[in-house]
Structure 1
Amino acid sequence: MPKISQKGISMPESPIRKLVPFAEKAKSKGHHVYHLNIGQPDIKTPHGALQAVKDANIEVLEYSHSAGFESYRNKLAKYYQGHSLDVNADDIIITTGGSEALLFALGSTLDPHDEIIIPEPFYANYNGFSTSNGVNIVPVMSTIDNGFALPAISEFEKLITPKTKAILICNPGNPTGYLYSEQEMKQLTELVVKHDLFLIADEVYREFAYDGYKHISVMSIPELANNAIMIDSVSKRYSMCGARIGCIVSKNKDLMKAAMKFAQARLSPPTFAQIASEAALDTPQSYFDEVITEYKERRDVFINALQQIEGVQVTVPHGAFYCVAKFPVKNADDFAKWLLEEYNLNGETVMIAPAAGFYSTPGVGMNEARMAYVLKKDDLIKSAEILKEALKAYQQVEK
């Protein structure tokens, strides 16, 4: 029998989706599953985006330009300029989701066996993207004890070698919800300029900042003109995960020329989704004001409920819509499976994402889980109650 590639063998499973068969089995038993495992918002997609697709008068569904519709890139540039970012249409390539933008960024900046430094825990797919590009992740550890703040710059310095080509951050963070401060962004700026590295910033949650905290984009820092690469997406901003439209943004012309080769190789981003995304840019600020208020309320309800559970450690995230909690269990992966296979409270259970898959360091995060507070407040309260009772029962099982 022909053998699959070592790369295929090495590709990690998604901690967010790998337990889906267990959830499906639970549902087949008639159990209701609260999905805390995935950042799929239940906020309605802006009406204008959906209507634009319905109204599209298309007789031939053609390729678009490899960089995406020029009209969309111009409009997107104006959106960024409205947020005080010095971005022009030529600095943007539209991609099939933020995922493809990340693949373009890695492919354009790192060769096989080069190194990229990433604060962990980090978005689980960074492991997969790096594996598919033959790139080595060098993790620098952040911890729940200080809310997953940026590790000391001295810790980054220790890890830089001749193979180091980039630092990758997610801001606000998935899975932690941490929002980097102005001081932290300044420290990163000085570091990448000093060592002539790229700073890749995954900013797909840039709209979601709470408690008066401000999101600092890499594109707002003049010193990073040649170093910064921004990854963005419509998925979370407009609750359009299924559109699969994102973008890679940089002022570095050589970088964008390289990224364009990858864009040409995959031909073009999807047409109907670009139509919807372009129309979504007309969404009024009131939409975001309401959404941010709603997510803050959900966060407050859920975090407060988790903090009342004996043995659970969780910090208050100031961005995105995720949190990482430490549970009084030995193995959160086993606990997550048990929740779906063996446990229900009045016919209901929860699905969580074990956090070990958000680290690249083996054995770290084994008793942690990422949860998304994208459900309605009543559902989040129920979810926390299920977790509270489940932990009591599971601690007897673990013995």
Structure 2
Amino acid sequence: MPKISNKGQLMPQSPIRKLVPYAEQAVKNGKQIYYLNIGQPDIKTPEIALKAVKENTLEVLAYSRSEGSETYRNKIAAYYSKKDINVTHNDIIVTTGGSEALLFAFGSIMDTDDEIIIPEPFYANYNGFSTASGINIVPVISKIENNFALPPIEEFEKLITPKTKAILICNPGNPTGYLYSVDEIKKLAAIVKKHDLFLIADEVYREFAYDGHTHYSIMQEAGLEEHAIMIDSVSKRYSMCGARIGCIVSKNKAVIQTALKFAQARLSPPTFAQIASEAALETPQSYFDDVIKEYVERRNILMAELKKIDGVKVAEPKGAFYCIVELPVKNSDDFAQWLLEHFDLNGETVMVAPAAGFYSTPGVGLNQIRIAYVLKKESLIKAVNIIKQALKVYKD
């Protein structure tokens, strides 16, 4: 029999999606499921974006430019300028989601067996992207005990080798909801300049910063122009996950020129999705004000309910719409599967994402889960109560 590649065998399963067959069977068995496992917002997509597609009169759905349409890139640059990020359309390449932007970044700055340092826990697909790119993640562990704050810079310095090419952060963080301070960004800027590394920031949750905090982009940091690579996406900002439109942004001309070659190889980002994304940029601030108010209320209710459960530890998010929860269990993979296969409360159960898949260090995060608070407040209360009752009867 022909052999599957080593790379294919090493590709990790998604901790977010691997339990789907059990969830599907639970539904067939008549259970209602509260889906806390995936960051699919239930917030409505801005009507202006949907209308741009519905009312479009295109007669030929043609390729766009490989780097994305110039009008869209100009409008993205204008959006960034309102955030104190001064770039031009020439610093931007439109991609098929933030995922492709990360793959372009990895391919542009790293060769096989090069290393990238990432604070963990981190977005699970970073593991997959690194495997697909043939590079190695070197994790620096942040801990729930201090709310997943940036580890001391000394911890990063210990890990830097001749193969280290970049540091990657997600800000605000998925899966932790951690929002990096200006001081933390400045410390990272100093270390990448000192060691001549790239600093990649996945900033797709930029709009979601809470409690009076504001997001500080690596693109705002003076003197980082040759080192900074920003990853962005419309998926979460406008509740447009299915559009699959993102971008890679850098003032480093060699990075953009190299990423463009990868973009040319895949031809172009999707045309209709760019039309929708361009229209979405006209979304009024009131939309975001309402969305942020809703997420803060959801977070507050979720935190309050989780803290009522004996033996549970939770880190309070300052941004995005995720949190990591430590449970009084040995293995959250088993617990998550058991919830779907063997437990219900009045015909209802919960789907969560086991957190071990958000780490690359073996054996870490085994008793943690990630919760995405993308459900209405009433549903969150019910979901947490189900977890609470389940823990009373679950046997490791």
Relative to the length of structure 1, the TM-score reads 0.99
Instruction: Tell me the residue number matched to 1:193.
Output: 193
Map 1:34-113 to 2 at 5 A.
Answer: 34-113=34-113
Give runs of aligned pairs for residues 111-260 of structure 1, distance below 5 A.
Answer: 111-260=111-260
In 2, distance between residues paired with 1:128 and 1:179?
A: 24
**Paired amino acid for 2:276:** A
Query: Structure 2: how far apart are the matches of 1:278 and 1:184?
Result: 32
SS in structure 2 of the partner of residue 329 of structure 1: coil
Query: Paired residue for 1:348?
Result: 348
Using the TM superposition, give the Cα deviation of residue 56 of structure 1 relative to its aligned residue in structure 2, in angstroms. 1.2
- Partner secondary structure for residue 168 of structure 2: strand
**Distance (whole Å) between structure 2 residues aligned to residue 389 and residue 254 of structure 1:** 55
Q: In the aligned structure 2, how far is the partner of 1:284 from the partner of 1:348? A: 38
Deviation at 1:204, TM superposition (A): 0.2
Read off the aligned partner of 1:223 and give its amino acid letter. G
Cα distance in 1 for partners of 2:171, 2:184 equals 11
**Would you say 1:31 and 2:31 are equivalent positions?**
yes
* Separation in 2, partners of 1:244, 1:7: 25
Distance of 1:5 and 1:24 partners within structure 2: 30
- For 1:137 and 1:62, the matched residues in 2 are separated by 38
1:17 Cα shift?
Answer: 0.2
- 1:188 maps to amino acid: L
Helix, strand or coil: the match of 1:38?
coil
| 1:74-129 residue CA offsets vs partner (Å, 9 max, x unmatched) | 00100000111011100000000000000000000100000000000000000000
- AA aligned to 1:45 is T
Partner of 1:381: 381
Taking the aligned partners of 1:179 and 1:61, their CA distance within structure 2 comes to 40
SS at match of 2:388: helix
Secondary structure of the residue aligned to 1:118 is strand
Aligned to 2:297: 297
TM-score after normalising by structure 2: 1.00
SS of residue paired to 1:34:
strand
Aligned to 2:390: 390
Secondary structure of the residue aligned to 1:224 is: coil
Aligned counterparts of 1:387 and 1:199: Cα–Cα separation in 2: 38
Instruction: Return the offset for 1:318.
Output: 0.2
- Superposition deviation, residue 222 in structure 1: 1.5
- The alignment partner of 2:378 has SS state of helix
Distance in 1 (CA, whole Å) between partners of 2:303 and 2:43 is: 20
The residue type paired with residue 358 of structure 2 is F
- Give the aligned CA root-mean-square deviation in angstroms: 0.5
CA shift, 1:55, in A, is 1.3
Give the superposition deviation at 1:214: 1.4
The alpha-carbon deviation at position 315 of structure 1 amounts to 1.8
Q: Aligned AA for 2:86?
A: D
Per-residue CA deviation, residues 139-197 of structure 1 (Å, 9 max, x unaligned), is: 00000000000000000000000000000000000000000011111100100000000
1:382 maps to amino acid = K
- Which secondary structure does the structure 2 equivalent of 1:222 belong to? coil
Aligned position for 1:366: 366
Q: Quick one: distance in 2 between partners of 1:89 and 1:351?
A: 41
Equivalent position of 1:12 in the other structure: 12
1: CA distance, partners of 2:177 / 2:250: 24
Q: Alpha-carbon deviation of 1:57?
A: 1.0
The whole-number CA distance in structure 2 between the counterparts of 1:387 and 1:314 is: 14
Contiguous gaps of at least 5 residues in structure 1: none
Number of aligned positions between the proteins: 396
Measure, in 1, the Cα distance between the counterparts of 2:222 and 2:273. 32
% same residue? 70
Distance in 2 of aligned mates of 1:128 and 1:315:
25
User: Match of 2:307, as an amino acid?
Assistant: Q
Q: Which amino acid aligns with 2:374?
A: V
Q: Secondary structure, in 3 states, of the residue corresponding to 2:223?
A: helix
For 1:7 and 1:49, locate their aligned partners in 2 and report how far apart those are by CA, in whole Å: 38
Q: Which runs of 4 or more aligned residues in structure 1 lie more than 6 Å from their structure 2 counterparts after TM superposition?
A: none
SS, match of residue 117 in structure 1? strand
Per-residue CA deviation, residues 27-59 of structure 1 (Å, 9 max, x unaligned), is 001100000000000000000000000111111
Paired residue secondary structure (2:349): strand
| Unaligned stretches of 5+ residues in structure 2 | none
- What is the distance in 1 between the residues matched to 2:279 and 2:214? 26
